[in-house]
Amino acid sequence: MNRLLSFNLRVLFNKQLVGLNKPRTRNNVVAISDTAGSYETFQIVRKDDDPNRVRSRAPNGFFLRDQYWSTYITEEDFMFM
């Protein structure tokens, strides 16, 4: 079973929260909100067979991914927080 952890991301320079601009779209993540709501709440999903690997799920159910990064990220990726 996947273990979930909810989180919000805040942009350093303008203090706004990252969220979905249009919840039904796949790739429109923006920082335009001052308060956390359902569109600004993401989930960390652990991989069933490797609990050291996680993915970030957006409020629309899609996983965040960059074309230059692996789908999975590790704990070291969060060391800056």
Domain boundaries, the chain: 4-78
pLDDT of residue 5: 85
pLDDT of residue 2: 54
Look at residue 55 and give its three-state secondary structure: strand
Length of the chain, in residues: 81
Q: What is the Cα–Cα distance from 32 to 78, expressed in whole angstroms?
A: 22
pTM for the full predicted model: 0.66
pLDDT of residue 4: 67
pLDDT of residue 81: 46
DSSP 16-50: PEEEESSTTSSS-EEEEESS--GGG-EEEEEETTE
Q: What is the DSSP letter of 73?
A: B
Q: Candidates 3.40.50.2300, 2.40.50.150, 1.10.8.640, 2.80.10.50; correct CATH number of 4-78?
A: 2.80.10.50
Q: What is the pLDDT along the chain (81 residues), one digit of tens a residue?
A: 456 688 888 888 888 988 887 655 556 788 888 999 888 899 988 888 887 888 888 888 888 775 554 445 556 655 554
> Is the dihedral angle over the CA atoms 62, 63, 68, 71 positive or is it negative?
negative
